[in-house]
Structure 1
Amino acid sequence: MFFGRPAPLSDYARARQLIAAVDRGGIPLNPAKVNAIARSLGLEVARQAPVEATLERIRLALARATEP
């Protein structure tokens, strides 16, 4: 019965949540957060990179990932 904060999500879990939200029709409003998630997966992302391109790179990284 502890009401503390939930455990932080892994980088891959955050990326999966982002992609799931986009697939449901959501639009990422903050490109900096998308870039931060991509960088946490080890991707190099330019600040001026289109969000759509970054999302596609995140999808590819998740497809290659071995983490459940």
Structure 2
Amino acid sequence: MPAKNEISLDGHALLPVEYNAPAQHFIVRNSQGKEFGDQGYCYIPYDFFIGKYNTNQINKAKEAQDNTFSFWCLTHD
């Protein structure tokens, strides 16, 4: 997880592939390859997705010049 005031403008994709209810986190595949995190996966707390983890990442990204960002919302049936 990024530090509270950390700014990261590098591009990559994340795909939640599983969740761990007892540990309260999602298991997420990162597009940066197996060298990233745990063989290409990372663990993102539920609190990050529901807005309790405030890093200011999105606001900082919007303020950056000459960068295009896309945000996707995944839903299920």
RCO comparison, higher one (Cα < 8 Å, 6+): 1
- Please give the TM-score of this superposition, normalised by the length of structure 1: 0.26
Name the TM-score, length of structure 2 as normaliser: 0.24
Judging by fraction of residues, say which structure has more helix. 1
